[in-house]
């Protein structure tokens, strides 16, 4: 529900309007910029393109909390305007410049970025550049994502707003803007149920911060999810079997089940398959970071009581469905700041079952989500650690082999670790399910090999395990042999 000062128009008449060139001209060459954007939506588009057109003149530090579109992640980065960035990337050129160390890239968990900027000394921001669907004196309404924008606006001494006319104002019906207070006297977040509303539709700011408003009519990029593969469907089936046994095992799930899924084609496919699960009279709640098309399917089927996220990462068809049915979907979908959607205390409070994927899992249960061969950064850790560490049940779901290759994603030793064995409960591949809870390291290793590894590599993994367990040790490795495993 919008708060009492809901706007009748997108823009209050007395606010300063700027061309994007004039807005860019207010920035210093070495500015530290806080950008909105999460899940490739809700990011400014026109100002970054103007900066990119004169990229050699800049030496910027940029901060954003999730995936942004090509205007920032490709054109701005490729222009040479950026020398340092935090904390997510997704384009080939961004990865190339990260690997060559032309751009200094630092990764961070999504839930902590607001506090790190505002209180933790991560950067000294000069300006926040954000997108909105409506702007007034001392307030604006965010668009398809919220992410870390409330904290960024509080932290930045100056503010530029891109007002996007391509996004409906009615999105405000989904927003629940609540910001935790500052440490060390931060109150508990008063969210008793994931579907409750504890804030309003607007982000408020000191009006003296506003440099000006740039108008835009550019829609966000949309996701393109591949059709589920045979492996995806097998993983979904194995996950379904596990979920049914788990909700029957624990009294926590007698009445309701809280789920989270990682973003991407596999996560979207897993959501879609949940429609067929016979969960009896249990209500299903999504409490996660990113909302994808599969959740729209669940809402339309009447299978989802509520869905809480910080970004609407939809396909073109999914976005059309959402916009055409906003009045109905507003009863179910809530968009929150990332320090609420990914809050460790809330993830624990609701007893979330978290399902995320990875590049690889080693046989002891350590997870690599970010670095191929331990060296080459793919995207970033995002919110996976927020959920993996704090969920009641943590699941890593992934194919056992890299598609179209002989490369195993079950390995003897992960060469980069984002999530340790302490934060992982279950591994699921198309081969089966390995429940690691209560198992000692060698027991975990055997369970993962037997249940999750592809048959073509099980003998090699067994041979490796036999060779290292010939000597004493709690967790034993032959580092050189492990490094050669997928060579």
Active site residues: 289
H or E element in which residue 103 lies: none
CB 322 within 8 A of CB 296: yes
447: three-class secondary structure by DSSP: helix
Strand partners, 204: 139
Strand partners, 411: 362
Q: What angle separates helix 441-452 from helix 455-468, to the nearest 10 degrees?
A: 160
CB 59 within 8 A of CB 29: yes
Handedness of CA 227, 231, 233, 239 (dihedral sign): negative
Give 71-101 as a DSSP string.
IIIIIIHHTT-EEEEEE---SHHHHHHHHTT
User: What whole-number distance in Å separates Cα of residue 393 and Cα of residue 424?
Assistant: 8
Strand partners, 396: 356, 427
CB 80 within 8 A of CB 51: no
Q: Which residues contact 27 (CB under 8 A, 6 or more apart)?
A: 33, 51, 58, 126, 127
Per the listing, tokens 């000294």 go with 124
């Amino acid at each position: 529900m919008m708060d009492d000062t809901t706007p009748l128009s997108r823009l209050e008449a007395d606010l300063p309007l700027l061309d994007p060139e004039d807005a860019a001209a207010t920035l210093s060459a070495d500015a530290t910029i806080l950008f909105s954007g999460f899940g490739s939506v809700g990011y400014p588009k026109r100002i970054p393109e103007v900066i990119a057109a004169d990229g050699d003149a800049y030496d910027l530090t940029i901060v954003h909390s999730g995936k942004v579109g090509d205007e920032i992640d490709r054109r701005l980065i490729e222009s040479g305007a950026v020398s340092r960035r935090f904390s997510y990337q997704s384009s080939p050129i961004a990865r190339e410049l990260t690997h060559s160390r032309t751009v200094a890239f630092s990764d961070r968990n999504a839930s902590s970025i607001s506090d790190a900027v505002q209180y933790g000394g991560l950067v000294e921001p000069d300006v926040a550049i954000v997108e909105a669907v409506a702007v007034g004196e001392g307030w604006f309404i965010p668009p398809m994502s919220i992410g870390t924008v409330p904290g960024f606006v509080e932290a930045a001494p100056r503010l530029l707003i891109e007002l996007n006319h391509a996004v409906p104002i009615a999105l405000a019906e989904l927003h629940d803007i609540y910001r935790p207070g500052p440490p060390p006297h931060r109150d508990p977040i008063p969210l008793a149920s994931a579907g409750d509303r504890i804030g309003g539709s607007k982000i408020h700011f000191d009006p003296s911060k506003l440099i000006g408003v740039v108008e835009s009519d550019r829609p966000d990029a949309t996701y393109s999810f591949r059709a589920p593969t045979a492996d995806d469907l097998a993983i979904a089936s194995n996950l379904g079997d596990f979920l049914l046994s788990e909700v029957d095992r624990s009294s926590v799930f007698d009445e309701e089940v809280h789920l989270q899924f990682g973003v991407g084609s596999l996560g979207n496919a897993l959501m879609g398959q949940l429609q067929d699960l016979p969960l009896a009279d249990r209500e299903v709640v999504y409490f996660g970071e990113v909302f994808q098309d599969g959740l729209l399917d669940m809402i339309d089927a009447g299978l989802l009581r509520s869905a809480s996220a910080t970004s609407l990462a939809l396909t073109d068809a999914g976005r059309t469905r959402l916009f055409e049915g906003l009045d109905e979907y507003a009863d179910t979908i809530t968009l929150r700041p990332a320090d609420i959607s990914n809050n460790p205390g809330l993830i624990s409070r609701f007893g979330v079952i978290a399902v995320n994927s990875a590049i690889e899992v080693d046989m002891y249960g350590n997870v690599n989500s970010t670095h191929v061969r331990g060296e080459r950064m793919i995207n970033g850790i995002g919110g996976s650690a927020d959920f993996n560490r704090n969920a009641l049940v943590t699941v890593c779901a992934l194919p056992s082999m890299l598609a179209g290759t002989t490369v195993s994603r079950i390995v003897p030793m992960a060469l980069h670790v984002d999530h340790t064995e302490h934060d992982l409960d279950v591994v699921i591949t198309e081969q089966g399910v390995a429940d690691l809870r209560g198992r000692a390291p060698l027991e975990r290793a055997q369970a993962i090999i037997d249940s999750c590894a592809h048959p073509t590599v099980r003998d090699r993994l067994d041979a490796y395990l036999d060779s290292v367990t010939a000597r004493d040790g709690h967790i034993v490795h032959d580092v050189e042999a492990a490094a050669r495993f997928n060579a």
